[in-house]
Structure 1
Amino acid sequence: MNLLRELRTSLNEFFYQHYPFISICCCFVSLLTAYLQYEWKVHNYDLMSWKQLSEACYATSTADIDFFQLCVLLTILCINVVFVGLIVAAYVHPLGQRRSTELTLLEIKDRFSRFILLRLIARLDRIQSKMSAKRKTLNFHQVARAHHSMVKAVAVFRKDARKLLLPNESEIMQPIEDIYGVADDEERALRREGYYKLTIDITDATVKSLFNAQ
């Protein structure tokens, strides 16, 4: 069961990250299939006919090819592909917002828990990286500023973790997507920077241990 759940999660993340490219490929394949079907129905061009046509074109000397017309046709084809790709990408862009409504309560909370944990890790990691890069020239003010940034990152985590562990009455009455909503731009940034590849424990026990840490 765990293996199937991990596989489903991996597939969901893959399609969530690459859905514009997948949509464009699907549209292209559909258009190509429709064109081949049309040629077969109207002109009786089956696969063997296309094979013979490609062999005839290949056998044609390069002197007989009008390169200007070929470039024009390729340019028009590229413009059409880009245009269709932009339309498809603009149409499916709200998928990130619609996706949360299709998740169960447990999946929404797991997604929120993973997000706040990885966001905390990412912020602390960035602060530590900056400190390491300047370790030879560090001064007191820089250390104090880094400490303040760490305290602020932990405070943001604790604020969100409380909603998971101890939601108040007003939060309970709100839609679940509003309570445990995830900022899509921050989530995409974490995925792009590779933090979502980390294997972490997102159970309530882990969140509670960090929430109560002194």
Structure 2
Amino acid sequence: MNLCKWLWRHCVNFLYNNYPCVAIYSSVGAVVTAYLHYQLRIHSFDLMYWKDMAETFAQEIDGFQLSLLLCIFLINAIFVFILLSVYLRPAMEREDSELTLLEIKDRYARYILLRLIARLDRIQSRLSARRKFLSLRHYARAHGSMAKAVAVFRKDARKLILPNESEIMLPVEDIYHVAEDDERHLRRAGYYKLLIDTSDETVKGLFNPK
């Protein structure tokens, strides 16, 4: 069971990080398959026909010409791979190294706020699902879960308000670290569509509510 979850998680992460390449290669494969199917239905060119054509081509072309064609194809394949790897990556992966301190702090603040909202929302959803069978024990458990979620938020929010000396000496990416898996889950769940205020005043107000 754990192996299945591990494989599923890695497949999802691979598709999320490489979806432009997967889409292009899948489209090329679909076009080639459609062309072969069209030739088979209209002209009755089956796989044996293409095999004979390849053998005829191999007999008519000499080794130097074939090597030259393969080199040209290899150069083009490498060039296309570089283009896909550099320009078709998700925007977040390309821009991480270019973020300013303000942008890094804003991303971190948005992440911890949305993570808190998501956790409280899940607790509320569980209570709503059991509303016909709720007891004092359910409310106590929900209160404890909410308190833990708020405590985690306060622990992380302190870095934005009062970073200690040891944290100041660390790279800014380590201080305001965002778990990419959690961030992706929040995006897929739609929480990043919420319009929230990530200013220092909002974080301070939640960190020290009056």
From 156, 161, 165, give the equivalent of 1:165: 161
Q: Does 1:155 align with 2:134?
A: no
- Once the two structures are TM-superposed, the CA of residue 109 in structure 1 deviates from its matched residue by 0.3
User: How far apart, CA to CA, are the structure 1 residues paired with 2:100 and 2:189?
Assistant: 27
From 9, 28, 44, give the equivalent of 1:65: 44
Q: CA RMSD in A?
A: 3.8
Q: Does 1:107 align with 2:93?
A: no
Contact 2:108 2:177 in 1 (8 A): yes
TM-score by length of 1: 0.61
Q: Does 1:187 align with 2:166?
A: no
TM-score by length of 2: 0.62
Structure 2, gaps ≥5 residues long: 1-14, 29-34, 52-79
User: How far apart, CA to CA, are the structure 2 residues paired with 1:180 and 1:69?
Assistant: 61
Counterpart of 2:44 in structure 1: which amino acid? I
- Once the two structures are TM-superposed, the CA of residue 18 in structure 1 deviates from its matched residue by 6.1
Distance change (3 Å), C-alpha of 1:62 and 1:100: closer
From 114, 126, 133, give the equivalent of 1:130: 126
Distance change (3 Å), C-alpha of 1:65 and 1:19: same
Contact 2:17 2:90 in 1 (8 A): no
User: How far apart, CA to CA, are the structure 2 residues paired with 1:136 and 1:122?
Assistant: 23
Counterpart of 1:22 in structure 2: which amino acid? P
- Give runs of ≥4 in structure 1 deviating > 4 Å: 24-29, 67-70, 92-99
Query: Identity over the aligned pairs, expressed in percent?
Result: 56
Per-residue Cα deviation, 1:115-150 (whole angstroms, up to 9, x for no partner): 000000000000000001101101111111110000
Per-residue Cα deviation, 1:15-58 (whole angstroms, up to 9, x for no partner): xx9652224456789x9xxxxxxxxxxxxxxxxxxxxxx9xx97
From 193, 202, 206, give the equivalent of 1:206: 202
